[in-house]
Structure 1
Amino acid sequence: MTNSIDHIELSINATDEPPDSTQLEKNQEYKATTALLTNLEQNNSTEEFIVYDDNENKKSPEENTLAIQALPSLIISVIGLVLAGNLMDELQHSEVFLKTTELFILLPILLNLKGNLEMNLAARFSTSSNLGELDYGPTRRSLIVGNLALLQVQSLVSGAIAGVSSFALGLVTKPGSNNSYYEMIYMTSSSMVSASFSSAILGIFMCALILICRKFDVDPDNIACPMASSIGDIVTLVLLASTASILQNQMESIFSTLVFLVMFSLIPVFGLIVWKNKHVKKLLFSGWTPLIVAMVISSLAGILLEAYVEQFKGVALLTPVLIGLAGNLGSIYASRISTCLHAETKESYKVVELTLLAMNVPVQVVFMIIIWAFAMGQLQYNFWFFFSYFVISMICTWICLKIGKVMTLAFWKMGYDPDNYVIPYLTASIDVIGTILLVSVFSVLTSTGATDMSMTARATNSTINS
């Protein structure tokens, strides 16, 4: 690799370097060394290190630990996606959303941007953990502060982009509406505040989670991205609804403008912190392209979803879980490959792919049991529905795993850090692919009479029953 590679800088200066120069090489194999302990005693700096027991009998993750570690986080992510979907449905009928309908447009844009930021952080920090960079105190603190500051810069800028974009789309979709400067500032301020506070909460949580994983010898690549995805959506939804509700009462005043100016002024403050941090400095002006492109691609998926959500039953309920779970499995794979590339170790591609694909089965079964038990979506739960949805989920997961592998290797060969580029493109791609597959299968089920998924049939049945 050349020096142009866009990644967290691994070299550290004389005041920020562990005494033992072989420590990094050893940590690339995920082990602490007795030589480190000797040098620690000689330099009287044991308080600066987190020391982990060496385990010579440690088994490879792809053989034993991948499914054990990743499966609980995936089940939690599915539950989180279902809760986020129900929360979104409730918020769409709340007073704050009914008064400002452009918030409906803001939601998917903001969730997409924020989700990619937090998953990128999880991938970057997981790589740092597995390379052993978090074992040395000064480096650990520098990486945590730098990444959290970077996340604030990215979230504030993304929040501003999401707010202005949703307002502009509102002008296009509703040309006759009385949109004003105050409404644009209101939406932008709400977006920036919720994005900033959500990133602070999620960033601290993810850093703590990965440090705990490192301490207890758990590979964070297996759990970090799904946890960031599921928890991030719920936290962002709650914060956006709360912020929008507070600011809406002051929409016609200068209050929203003051909030916007305060949040905007924080960008150079956090930017300066990032600029002075050698570990994340290069990321300040890079990695924006995949975020913006992913937002555009996901917007296309949103337009497609909006076109069919009122035509077929269950689209709004099933789509987030279908694409969310496939994206989580793909992000785990991409994050693991990226770590192996940084550490110059080998990944058992076939074993990991088959393991992740197999893990999709129990997680989707749990999801289908949940929606059947609670009669969600008013769907016709018969054999053809369950069989078709399960086949789609397996196809989406397989496609996402393949895309994740190809993209990660391709970006690495081109000199870009996959931790900062792959996940936005990967999740945006599966958004479009998953939505197309689901709508196509629902159309086939309805046209063949296997299961009537049309909303008209639902309305007719409701009329007959009443």
Structure 2
Amino acid sequence: MSFGNKVQSAFKVSLPSLIVSLVIGFFGGTFLGKYLDRIRRDYPGLLVILPGMMGLRGNVFSSMASRFSTMLYLGELKPSVKDRKVLENVVIAMLLSLIPVTLLWAIGVIRGVRYHAIEILFIVIGSTILVSLILGYFTAGITILAFRRDVDPDSLAAPLVASMGDLLTIPTLVGFILLLERNSMEFWALNGFSVLMLFFLLTFSRVGLSKFKEYKQLFTTITALAMLSLVSGFTLERFSGLIASSVILGFAYPSILSSFGNYGSIIAAKTSTKLNLGEIRGYLSREPFEEIFALLLTTPLIGLLINLFSLAIAYLLLREEPRFAFELALTYPFMALFIMLYAYSISYVLFQHNIDPDSVAIPLIANNSDIFGTIYVVLIAKMMVGA
């Protein structure tokens, strides 16, 4: 493929998906920006956990989509959400999500973030159970629907599942907070119902310890990545006041992280395919750098849209007129370039060590992009506020 065709593909194929992801990210960003001051004042422990929760949902349920796809092609799963194996996988996904976020909460408490710690624990547990149930059956439905219509589920399900995870995570957390503050009895009743539902589903699905052990490798990977996300979490918690002072970055935060993750994942996926096809002869091969430069041409537009969406939402919700973040617009392409070069390098090194980049690189890059993105947002906030 010529460089011109790569540029055309970047604008016709990658850019629309990046913009859709951006819009979805701003749905969560609207809630975070509006309630950031309240969360950092009354529930600071949630900020420690938030990046890990967002990453976990993408990793757990994207993996589940891939597993459903394989089972459908092998005839091990009927193309129906009523198949018992769907419920088994949804319950396992709940457990895979609950254990790491509980560990994140515990580490936050040990590190001294203890204000409203018990309430935060149940906000996290209740929202994780409910979102996992919704997201699990959404994942199964999308995968099965694609399979029924002769569309490859692998090319459709994972991006939609990751976007739905972003769509649900922050609004659900905020919803639990508002319920706690409005009527604590209803909050505790909902949490009690959620826990009872989990035990009922565990019993009904007959998922035992032996079944859970089959997912030991995935559990180890996502737990390690969740622990790594504490870098993002503690950074976000420490500098949340600075981010809130910039006004627009509170709204933009989820979209900035998801966009960096998307750029990295696109390059990782393309690199993996080309490496397996033998199209990359060495690290400095021309082909991958042309792909990176073609995608780089889309980054000024994404940076501009992040600014404009943030300004519009801040004005509509807060009735403030924050200034355009020139610091973000000017530096965004360079940060995206760094993420893409990092993604290519990680994928190349893993392949050279006989590790499949599809299985390891994309979750690792998505996680690392959250860390780099959080640090980047803090630096932009410092430039904007002058702290």
Among 267, 282, 293, the residue aligned to 1:333: 267
CA contact (8 A) 2:25 2:254 kept: yes
Give the Å deviation of 1:308: 2.8
1:409-438 deviation line (CA, Å, top 9, x unaligned): 434555655455434542343334334445
Query: Are the structure 2 counterparts of residues 138 and 277 from structure 1 closer, same or farther at C-alpha, using a change threshold of 3 Å?
Result: farther
CA contact (8 A) 1:159 1:191 kept: yes
TM-score, structure 2 as length reference: 0.72
Corresponding pairs, count = 366
Partners of 2:50 and 2:380 in 1: how far apart? 29
CA contact (8 A) 1:146 1:274 kept: no
Any gaps of 5 or more consecutive residues in structure 2? 281-286
Task: Describe how 1:117-136 pairs up with structure 2 within 5 A.
Answer: 117-119=57-59, 121-122=61-62, 125=65, 134-136=72-74
Partners of 2:293 and 2:203 in 1: how far apart? 45
1:242-263 deviation line (CA, Å, top 9, x unaligned): 4455566239989967865764
- Matched AA of 1:90: K
Give the Å deviation of 1:352: 3.3
Task: Describe how 1:184-333 pairs up with structure 2 within 5 A.
Answer: 184=118, 186-210=119-143, 215=149, 220-221=154-155, 226-244=159-177, 249-250=184-185, 260=195, 263=198, 272=207, 275-276=210-211, 281-283=215-217, 285-306=219-240, 308-309=242-243, 312-333=246-267
Map of 1:80 onto structure 2:
24
CA contact (8 A) 2:56 2:226 kept: no
Give the Å deviation of 1:152: 1.8
CA contact (8 A) 1:293 1:425 kept: no
Aligned with 2:73: secondary structure? coil
- Matched AA of 2:53: L
Does 1:161 find its partner at 2:103?
yes
* More helix as a share of residues: 2
1:89-139 deviation line (CA, Å, top 9, x unaligned): 334577xx69x922x42255145334333245426745985xx76434325
1:215-247 deviation line (CA, Å, top 9, x unaligned): 4657855x6555444432331233334445556
- Matched AA of 1:408: S
Among 76, 80, 94, the residue aligned to 1:152: 94
Which moves more between the two structures, 112-121 or 392-401?
112-121
CA contact (8 A) 2:68 2:140 kept: no
Query: Are the structure 2 counterparts of residues 412 and 394 from structure 1 closer, same or farther at C-alpha, using a change threshold of 3 Å?
Result: same
Identical counterparts, % of pairs: 19
Which structure is richer in relative contact order (CA contacts within 8 A, separation 6 or more)? 2
Task: Describe how 1:164-179 pairs up with structure 2 within 5 A.
Answer: 164-168=106-110, 172-173=112-113
CA contact (8 A) 1:118 1:203 kept: no
CA contact (8 A) 2:92 2:207 kept: no
Map of 2:293 onto structure 1:
354
